Amino acid sequence: MNSTALTLIELGAVVFCLGLLARLAGRVGVSPVPLYLLGGLAFGTGGFIELDGMQEFSHLSAEIGVILLLLMLGLEYTASELFTGLRRSWQAGVLDLFLNFLPGAALALFLNWGFVGAVVLGGVTYISSSGIAAKVITDLGRMGNRETRVVISILVFEDLAMAIYLPVLTAILAGVSFLGGLTTVGIALAVVSLVLVVALRHGHHVSRAVDSENSEVFLLNVLGAALLVAGVASAMQVSAAVGAFMLGIAISGATSHNATRLLAPLRDLFAAIFFVAFGLNTDPASIPPVLGWALVLAVITAATKMATGIWAAKGVGITRSGRLRAGATLMARGEFSIIIAGLAVASGAVTQELAALATAYVLIMAVVGPLAARYIEPLVGMFSPLNDSVGKT
């Protein structure tokens, strides 16, 4: 069988199975991310069947998946919303960074994975899953809750932190000198600041440049611009993902809503392939040795995210039930954590043990987070049934 036929067969089987896994996740009421990772583990290195034919395609598709994930995340915000969220949440954001970055970094140092491993694993444990959090809030009908504004503000802060963290991580993984690292950070800060200013004052020009009444032209414009900006950002050592995120912020108004509607199916497809590709490159046999540490990290960082949400919600006068809901909603880790681990593994700067630990950790948190957010409401209601109505606007 020729290589093209093998690639098409394997790709078709993978995409079809992804659809089945997404359907199963929807029926169970959990995020499909852990199922995608498990699927990759089952059919990758050391799995039941190794899919060698789609290696090259999966690598490029995974890159596009990351770009689309970050582009769509940027489309959810306007520059003014980012500034407002930053002003409201900077204290909670700093606490969130401190409480949730340190456990991962400390464990990496304890396991002798070095400074690079500490920076990577700290990022994995720090960042909440915006996608899972948004889905949980929507599915549970909590958009009108007061604590939801707190959750969104913290997520905005985390997204902005990632815009700085990813270029720094890229520089560290590339092994650049201290001076080169400072240069990369300076470029990242300058690019982020410039894009935010352009988005705030001239976002309508960016939107007009990609907008079109013809959906085909519009889709090609937005997707082409995203890939172009991501490529230029990568060439400048800023990170392709951050470039896509910044473009998403610059697109606003009706153009942003239309872009979200058109790109959502593409994002879901390529993001699913991204998670599968990460699983394909992780040997399942490497997970049991680090599973205990993943559980330890899960327990600690579930508690620290809960503490972050409780403290932030308490600061704006939200009742006890709302504070607990805020903490539980922030608990899940997902796409960003895998993106960070994927960048590190691709660079060859970290051990496969770290990739295995990150996979096990995300599998646990992507399941536990939504379940905690779903069931903390009735649990709180058993003890304070009168508080629920106070937590709503």
Give residue-wise pLDDT tens across range 287-307: 899 999 999 999 999 999 999
Of residues 105 and 30, more confidence is placed in 105
What pLDDT sits at residue 387? 46
What pLDDT sits at residue 212? 87
State the amino acid at position 352 in one-letter form.
Q
Q: Please give the average per-residue pLDDT across 348-353, as a whole number.
A: 82
DSSP state of 93: H
Residue with tokens 């396991």: 111
What pLDDT sits at residue 393? 42
DSSP state of 392: B
- The pair of structure tokens assigned to 216 is 């085909």
Phi first, then psi, for residue 349 (nearest 5°) are -90, -10
What pLDDT sits at residue 82? 66
What pLDDT sits at residue 133? 82
CA distances 391 to 147, 149, 221, 323, Å, are 7, 11, 43, 9
Q: Please give the average per-residue pLDDT across 206-212, as a whole number.
A: 85
- The pair of structure tokens assigned to 203 is 């976002």
pLDDT at 268 over 60: yes
* 49 CB neighbour count, 10 Å cutoff: 10
Of residues 334 and 218, more confidence is placed in 218
Mean pLDDT (the chain) is 81
Q: How confident is the model at residue 103 (pLDDT cuts 50, 70, 90)?
A: very high
What pLDDT sits at residue 105? 95
User: Taking phi first (over 0 means left), then psi (-120 to 50 degrees means alpha), and beta for anything else, what does residue 47 get?
Assistant: beta
Burial class (CB in 10 A: 0-12, 13-18, 19+), 121: buried
The answer to whether the CB of 202 falls within 8 A of the CB of 373 is: no
Residue 392 pairs with which residues in a beta bridge?
Answer: 145
State the amino acid at position 290 in one-letter form.
V
What pLDDT sits at residue 144? 76
Query: Percent of the chain having pLDDT more than 90?
Result: 20
- The pair of structure tokens assigned to 20 is 């089945």
Query: Percent of the chain having pLDDT more than 70?
Result: 81
pLDDT at 113 over 60: yes
Angle, vertex CA 344, rays to CA 338 and CA 349, nearest 5:
155
Distance CA 188, CA 165 (A): 9
Classify domain 55-391 by CATH number.
1.20.1530.20
Quick: pLDDT tens for 59-99. Answer: 777 778 878 877 887 787 676 666 676 677 788 889 999 99
What is the Cα 369 distance to its own chain's centre?
Answer: 14
pLDDT at 239 over 90: no
Q: Where are the alpha helices (DSSP H) in the chain?
A: 3-28, 33-42, 55-75, 79-110, 114-126, 130-139, 146-174, 178-210, 215-235, 240-250, 253-280, 288-315, 320-329, 335-347, 352-383
**pTM, entire model:** 0.74
Distance CA 327, CA 238 (A): 32
What pLDDT sits at residue 374? 81
Q: Look at residues 156, 339, 184 and name the one whose alpha carbon lies nearest to residue 248.
A: 156
The answer to whether the CB of 167 falls within 8 A of the CB of 241 is: no
State the amino acid at position 196 in one-letter form.
L
Q: Please give the average per-residue pLDDT across 212-230, as a whole number.
A: 89
What pLDDT sits at residue 361? 94
Q: Please give the average per-residue pLDDT across 235-255, as a whole number.
A: 76
What pLDDT sits at residue 97? 93
pLDDT at 384 over 50: yes
Distance CA 306, CA 196 (A): 30
Tell me the three state secondary structure of residue 350. coil
- The pair of structure tokens assigned to 197 is 């200013």
Q: Look at residues 344, 365, 330, 362 and name the one whose alpha carbon lies nearest to residue 157.
A: 330
- CB-based burial, 291-330: b 16+ in 10 Å, e otherwise: eebbeebbebbbebbbbbbbbbbeebebbbbbbbbbbbbb
Of residues 155 and 45, more confidence is placed in 155
Tell me the three state secondary structure of residue 145. strand
What pLDDT sits at residue 100? 96
